[in-house]
Structure formats: structure tokens, C-alpha cells
Amino acid sequence: MSTRRCCRPRANSRFMSARRSAGRLLPAPENFIPDSLLEEISDHGLDASRRDFLRKSFVAASATLASGAALAAPDHPAADGDMAILQPSVHATRLGYPVAHTPYGLPSKHEANLQRRESPGLTRKRESSISFTPLQGLFGIITPSGLHFERHHAGWHDIDPRDHRLMINGLVSTAKVYTMAELMRLPSVSRMHFIECGANSAMDWASPAVPSVQYTHGMLSCCEFTGVPLSLLLEDCGIDKGKAKWVLAEGNDGASLTRSIPIERALDDAIVAWGMNGEMLRPENGYPLRLVVPGLQGVCWVKWLRRLEVGDAPFGTREESTQYLDLMPDGVQRQYTVIQECKSVITAPSGGQRLLDKGFYSITGLAWSGRGKITRVDVSVDAGRNWKTARLESPVLPKCLTRFNLDWEWDGKPYILQSRAIDETGHAQPKIAELRAVRGKRSVYHNNAIQSWQVSAAGEVMNVQIS
Amino acid sequence: MYKSPDRVRVIFAWIWGALLLVSISTAHAEKFAGIGRKATNHEIAAWDIDVRPDFQGLPRGSGSVAQGEKIWVAKCASCHGEFAESPSVFPPLVGGTTKADIERGRVAGLSAASENSKTTMMKLATVSTLFDYIQRAMPFDAPKSLKVDEVYAVTAFMLNLADLVPADYVLNEKNIAEVQRRLPNRDGNTIAHGMLEVRGKPDVSGKDCMRDCPVDTNTMLVLPSSVNGLNGNLADQNRPYGSIRGIETRRAP
């Protein structure tokens, strides 16, 4: 698929070489050949039926030119109707591809713009770096597995599950080793949860620094995870509940990344997971085994999980002793700031996007809380002066993304859009100025501030911050 | 000695009872028959290499500053700089700490008044962390390739660069606690905050005001135009159809 994609004429870029007229983007008049036909020709060559189709298209386009209706938008009807309806569809008039043509299905080639992307200047080593989820184009609450954000500390591996082991040791009556086959025989649960890096929205702590929701909020994903409850495994090894206070989780990557998990979280809803969105975890997300610790920052969800050690004190690992510390203005560092607090963001319209038309839009976005369920999301279009309560789409689950929508009619005037989530503990998402008043401007982690998107009269949306 | 049949029966009953108890307790421990097995001591030793702040898990060994310097030059300096000060690949490791910090146990350079960049040695509250991380994750492209004595040596060299131990120091499992008592930021951390527990209290909570809420748009901060295009062309990062598109942010050639 990828080679075909690379060798195709860039029909989309022709479409994008458009000009603005009467408040609407219009295609150049010479664009009479539908994108789909261009791609068919590029794939299969110009056979008789396609040649015939091309001839008809040219006649139709010439007629349109002659009638002076060439400025009509492609998805708006010409005088006698929409060419997408009036012309015979290339898809409806010939055979399509056979079954299993793509044994593992891929997204449409028309969706290629939505990809995980890096943000420049964050790290110098791509093995210890981040790629962001394209939230601006996603629907509902589930992140497609191939678009789940990445954060690796020493690169990722594709581990043969036959070679993978999980060891549990420390304050247990029997230190045990499990194979993947053994783990997958145990009683499993499947639950949907969000995962957010503690450093999500870090680049905007001091001021707006990145242009789109992919980079402001894209270290956020939400999947259905399948695995065995961690509490079941700890009990299977005979955990010493009297002494156990922390559980160390360790990965099988080069960093052997370790993180201490508070025992309350470990025994509550944590899962030792192999499944993600109905299939095995993707290698970038910890295949074949990762820890799922709902509500806790992403670094606690140790990937390629190989060992759990029960202890009576935290382990003081690098990822909790020199990294993932919350630096306060007085120089004190908060350690073990694991909970991801109540937060939301409008994903469309959002930064770096442009509204082409006036009229009806759904203001849509995501809300989540590491402390439980989302109970309410309010949306403002006037920079936070007045708010309307948005619709929460089902399901609304604890420690899971919740999709919200609000009907909106854009009249071509400037607006500032915001969303504000409230969770079941009653905690309302704060403003950035309120957070800075406590934590200062040099903080990195746990920015759960209200996000503001400024919509200009031209329909362009920009990342701004309102006190 | 003669035993009556009754006494023999009682003894057998005791034995049966004991066996039954054993089998019940075994069945309880193995709720999931055939799943998992006991880890061997060699397996635990192979994987359980973590070192805690109270030095649980610290292996016996020793390494000198001089040995550490040799390893550093060969395996560490290319990323971290000759003196662990380089910001070119990773954030700097050493620098920004003072004698006064060592006395106080808090690094002044971490407070808001300071514009210094934050080095690892400024942030570090537990020397075990340094040892543990070098042992498990360094060098970046060959993790776990250092022997225990080499880990001690590299740790000693870094501690010397930070003026915590003299140039002739030999670090070992016994004297590492002395170093802990000199770490510049040993009293710099707290867990007294609301983000450790689900029921913890957040620093600030927003308001749920719905009408005529106070807003200050005069202090609005906007994305600077200087970043335009740094994240690529946003038109190529949104769908190429529909009424919401990405803005063209291609940088001028």
C-alpha cells in the first residue's frame, strides 16, 4: 500500500491549490477529473472504460465552463445538479477489489494526513522520544491502535511472546514466574481507560508554544485493555498485605524502565494487560505485556512488563527521582505525583484548523479524570464569560475518555472557544492562571488547564491562553 | 511397645488429618492449577537488580574516581560531555550545585529566582537512583554492559565532578551512605501533595460559574508567529476535505 501511495499523483494537493472566493475555498477550474479517477488511472493504467469515463468528464467540464458555473464548489451542485451524482460513479460502474486483498486492513488512502507525529526540539534521540496522537481528526473515545501516542525511553522492541516472562518477587510468600501462555489462561477483564503522559500539555506551561491539539494534548490515548487484574496475580503469589506499600514495575526494554506504584492503586483496578482494542498490544505499546494503571500518568503503565516487586517503601527510580518531578516555585520537588487530574479539550475546531464555511458545526472534544467519571463538561465561545453545558456521549466510564458535543452556528465573527470538565469528585478543571499561581511557570508535568482556541473572522483557529 | 488397635487408628487419623490440611492449604495457594511456578534464586538474582534509597538491593563492590574517569571518557563523554556538563544530546548531569547546597541539603538553584538549567545532580535526592540507573540503563546504546565495580566507578566519578567526593575516593557498598548525607538536594523532595492518591486534594479547583464570569482578555497570550511551520504544514495534518481544514503553515523556503 505504501509504495502505491508514494507513487500516486498528488490529487489532494491539486485540490488544495485552491483560491478563496465568496467565503469558500474553490478548486481550480481545470480540476475536472475526480480524484478517484486519477488514482484509478495511476493504479491500473488508462483502459477503455477509464478512457471513456475521462472523455465524458471532459465534456461535462467543458459544458460547465461554457455555462460560466466553473466557480461552483466541488461538493455544491452546479445548475443542473451535483456532478458527483449526475456523472456515473467510477466505483458504482466497475468491479472493486477482492476480499482479503489487504489481509490486515489499513485506513483509506484519503486519511493519510492523520498520523502520529513528533514535535521538533523535544529530544535529540528518537529512541528516547515522543510521538503525538492526531486528536484533531479522531471521533468517539477509542484511539485506533496505530495512532496511540508513543513515549519510549530506550526504543521499542517486537518481543517474541514465547520468550517473554513475568516475575513477581519481593514481599510475597512465593516468588513466581509466569509465561505469556499461563497469564492468558487466567480470568481476564476488558476495560476502557485513558492513558495520558504526565508531561502532556507541558510545552504550554509558560505560554502557547505549539500550534495544534495534536501537540498540545496528543500524549493522550484511550483503548480497551484486556488482561488479568494485578491484584489476582499478587494474591496468587501470596502478597504480604501487612507490609506491602509499593509495587515496582519493570520493563524488558533497554532502560528496564522502573516505576513505583502505590499499593492502593496496584490492588484496586490495575491490570496486567496483553490485549488492546481486541487484538494483542502493538509493539510500540508494550507487546506482549504492559501494566495498565487507570488514572495514573503514562510512565506508570510500564511496557514490555517483565517484573513486579512488592516492597514496603518506594524504590526511588530515575523516572520518579530525577524525572517526572513537579518543581514548585520554592524549589521543592513533588515526588510521586501520579494522578492525572480532571481535564478536557476541544478537538475540533481546534488550533491550526480553519473553518471554510459559516453555519452549523459541532464543537466536539474529550474530557477525562484520573479520579473517576466525568459528570459535566461546559463549553464557552466567549473566552469563558458564559458557558453552556455540552452533551456527554455514551459511554461515560471512570478513568476513561468521555466525548462531548455542543451544537454551534458560526456567523463569521471572532470567538474564543473553551471547554471545562467537572469530575465525580466535584473537581472543576482550572484556568492556566490559577495553576500558575500555585505551581509557577517552570513546571513541566500535570498541566490540566482549560485550553483556549481563538477563532478569527477568517475562520482560522489559534492556540491562545486566557487568564 | 504394644499399641492397641485403637491407638493406631487414632495415630492414622491424625496423619490423615494432617495430610488433608496440607492438601487443603496447597489447594488454596494454587487456586489456578498449572499456572506459574516458583522463581529460582538464580532467576531472581538475574533480574532483581534494583537499588532502593535505603540501599536494599545494593550489590557489594567498589570503584574509584580514577577508574570511573577512564570508563566515562570511553563510554559516556560522547553524549554527556567530558565533565557531564554537556546539554548537546541529553540534559546536563552535573553543575549548578554549591557548597552551601551541600551544607543545607537543598539546591538553591531550583527555586524560581534562579534561571539556571536544571541538572541531574541538582535534582537528585537519593544516590541510590544514580547507581541504579547507570546499572540498568547505561550506556544508552549498550545498557547493562557495565560490571558492578564499573557502576561504582562511574558513580564515583560523577560524584567527584559534583565536588561530593575527593579525587582519590573509592566508592563501595559501605561508604555510599556517607555520600548520601552530602547530596546537595537530599532534603529537596516532598510527597505532601494531592496527586498521590485518588482521594487527594487538588491544588486548585476551577469555578463552575455559568454566566457573566470574570475574564481578563487583556492578558491574553497568543502563539508567537515565530513558531509558524515548526511543526510542519498543518494543512497536511488534517483531512483534505470537509469544512474544517488545516491551515497552510509551510515555511517560506
Given a cut of 60, is residue B29 above it in pLDDT? no
Q: How distant is the Cα of A178 from the closest Cα of chain B, in angstroms?
A: 5
Is any Cβ of chain B less than 8 angstroms from the Cβ of A458?
A: no
Unique residue bearing C-alpha cell 498543518: B234
A332 contacts B188? CB cut-off 8 A: yes
**What is the structure's pLDDT at B113?**
72
Q: Which residues of B touch A387 (CB under 8 A)?
A: 209-211, 213
Please check whether residue B69 is in contact with residue A208, taking contact to mean a CB–CB distance below 8 angstroms: no
- Helix, strand, or coil (residue A194): strand
**What is the structure's pLDDT at A180?**
98
**Distance (Å) of CA A426 to CA A274, A372, B202:** 34, 10, 11
Is any Cβ of chain A less than 8 angstroms from the Cβ of B1?
A: no
Between positions 48 and 77 of B, the ones with CB within 8 A of A are 48, 50, 52-54, 56
Is any Cβ of chain A less than 8 angstroms from the Cβ of B42?
A: no
Is any Cβ of chain B less than 8 angstroms from the Cβ of A137?
A: yes
Task: Pick the residue from chain A with its C-alpha nearest to B213.
Answer: A385
**What is the structure's pLDDT at A78?**
75
**Distance (Å, rounded) from C-alpha B88 to C-alpha B251?**
26
Which string of DSSP letters, residue by residue, matches A314-331? ----HHHHTSS-EE-TTS
Find, among A79, A100, A240, the residue nearest to A175 by Cα.
A240
**Distance (Å, rounded) from C-alpha A422 to C-alpha B137?**
40
Q: How confident is the model over B94-129, as pLDDT tens digits?
A: 999 999 999 999 999 999 776 667 999 999 999 999
A463 contacts B223? CB cut-off 8 A: yes
Q: How distant is the Cα of A64 from the closest Cα of chain B, in angstroms?
A: 22
**What is the structure's pLDDT at B36?**
98
- Helix, strand, or coil (residue A165): strand
Please check whether residue A36 is in contact with residue A87, taking contact to mean a CB–CB distance below 8 angstroms: no
- Helix, strand, or coil (residue A5): helix
CB pairs under 8 A between A and B: 331
A416 contacts B217? CB cut-off 8 A: yes
Between positions 263 and 282 of A, the ones with CB within 8 A of B are 264-265
Q: Which residues of B touch A124 (CB under 8 A)?
A: 88-90
**Distance (Å, rounded) from C-alpha A435 to C-alpha A424?**
20
β-bridge partners, A403 = A366
List CB contacts of B105: < 8 A, sequence separation 6 or more. B183, B184, B185, B186, B187, B188
Q: How distant is the Cα of B146 from the closest Cα of chain A, in angstroms?
A: 13
**Distance (Å) of CA A301 to CA A48, B124, B163, B186, B215:** 57, 23, 36, 27, 38
Identify from A315, A343, A387 which residue to disrupt to test chain B contact, counting B C-beta atoms within 10 A and taking the largest count.
Answer: A315
Please check whether residue A18 is in contact with residue A28, taking contact to mean a CB–CB distance below 8 angstroms: yes
Q: Which residues of B touch A238 (CB under 8 A)?
A: 29
Unique residue bearing C-alpha cell 457573566: B212
Give, for A20, the enclosing helix (H) or strand (E).
strand A19-21
Q: Which residues of A touch B219 (CB under 8 A)?
A: 433, 466-467
**What is the structure's pLDDT at B207?**
87
Nearest Cβ partner for B38 among A176, A209, A376 = A176
**Distance (Å) of CA A461 to CA A113, A242, A350, A464:** 18, 55, 6, 9
Nearest Cβ partner for B125 among A15, A257, A321 = A321
Sorting pLDDT into bands at 50, 70 and 90, what band is B16?
A: low
Q: How confident is the model over B203-223, as pLDDT tens digits?
A: 998 889 999 999 988 889 999
**Distance (Å, rounded) from C-alpha A428 to C-alpha A193?**
20
Query: Tell me, what DSSP letter sits at residue A176?
Result: E
The separation between CA B153 and the C-alpha centre of its own chain, rounded to angstroms, equals 20
Is any Cβ of chain A less than 8 angstroms from the Cβ of B33?
A: no
Q: How confident is the model over B38-61, as pLDDT tens digits?
A: 999 999 999 999 999 999 999 999
A295 contacts B245? CB cut-off 8 A: no
B204 contacts A438? CB cut-off 8 A: yes
**What is the structure's pLDDT at A443?**
87
**What is the structure's pLDDT at A445?**
96
A315 contacts B227? CB cut-off 8 A: no
- Helix, strand, or coil (residue A127): coil
List CB contacts of A66: < 8 A, sequence separation 6 or more. none
Q: Which three cell numbers stand for residue A361?
A: 458545526
Q: Which residues of A touch B39 (CB under 8 A)?
A: 167-169, 175-177
Find, among A466, A467, A463, A415, the residue nearest to A215 by Cα.
A463
pLDDT tens string, chain A, 467 residues long: the values are: 333 333 333 333 333 333 343 445 443 333 444 445 445 544 544 555 545 545 555 444 444 444 444 344 556 677 899 999 999 999 999 999 999 999 999 999 999 999 999 999 888 899 999 999 999 999 999 999 999 999 999 999 999 999 999 999 999 999 999 999 999 999 999 999 999 999 999 999 999 999 999 999 999 999 999 999 999 999 999 999 999 999 999 999 999 999 999 999 999 999 999 999 999 999 999 999 999 999 999 999 999 999 999 999 999 999 999 999 999 999 999 999 999 999 999 999 999 999 999 999 999 999 999 999 999 999 999 999 999 999 999 999 999 999 999 999 999 999 999 999 999 999 999 999 999 999 998 889 999 999 999 999 999 999 999 98
Is any Cβ of chain A less than 8 angstroms from the Cβ of B226?
A: no
**Distance (Å) of CA A19 to CA A71, A379, A463:** 10, 33, 25
Sorting pLDDT into bands at 50, 70 and 90, what band is B14?
A: low
Per-residue H/E/C for chain B: CCCCHHHHHHHHHHHHHHHHHHHHHHHHHCCCCCCCEECCHHHHHHHCCCCCCCCCCCCCCEEEHHHHHHHHHHHHHHHHCCCCCCCCCCCCCCCCCCHHHHHHCCCHHHCCCCCCCCCHHHHCCCHHHHHHHHHHHCCCCCCCCCCHHHHHHHHHHHHHHCCCCCCCCEEECCCHHHHHCCCCCCCCEECCCCCCCCCCCCCCCCCCCCCCCCCCHHHCEECCHHHCCCCCCHHHHCCCCCCEEECCCCCCC
Regarding beta strands A165-170 and A305-311, do their DSSP bridges make them parallel or antiparallel, or are they unpaired? parallel
What one-letter code names the amino acid at B50?
A: D
Find, among B162, B157, B132, B130, the residue nearest to B75 by Cα.
B157
Over residues B133-152, mean pLDDT? 97
Q: Which residues of B touch A309 (CB under 8 A)?
A: 48, 50
Is any Cβ of chain A less than 8 angstroms from the Cβ of B252?
A: no
Between positions 389 and 448 of A, the ones with CB within 8 A of B are 416, 420, 422, 425-431, 433-435, 437-440, 442, 446
Among the listed ranges A102-106, B135-139, B149-153, B224-228, which one has the minimum average pLDDT value?
B224-228
- Helix, strand, or coil (residue A285): helix
A114 contacts B31? CB cut-off 8 A: no
Per the rule left: phi > 0, alpha: psi between -120 and 50, beta: everything else, A216 is: alpha
Find, among A144, A299, A332, the residue nearest to A223 by Cα.
A144
Nearest Cβ partner for B54 among A136, A313, A370 = A313
Unique residue bearing C-alpha cell 477482492: A98
Given a cut of 70, is residue B5 above it in pLDDT? no
Give, for A54, the enclosing helix (H) or strand (E).
helix A48-66
Identify from B25, B31, B43, B52 which residue to disrupt to test chain A contact, counting A C-beta atoms within 10 A and taking the largest count.
Answer: B52
Between positions 112 and 131 of A, the ones with CB within 8 A of B are 113-115, 117, 119-121, 124-125, 127-128
Between positions 166 and 225 of B, the ones with CB within 8 A of A are 185, 188-191, 193-200, 202-213, 215-217, 219-224
The ipTM (two decimal places) reads 0.88
Cis ω on the peptide bond leading into residue A288 (within 30° of 0)? Answer: yes
- Helix, strand, or coil (residue A182): helix
Which string of DSSP letters, residue by residue, matches A104-120? S----GGGTT---B--T
Q: Which residues of B touch A256 (CB under 8 A)?
A: 136-137, 143-144
Unique residue bearing C-alpha cell 510512565: A299
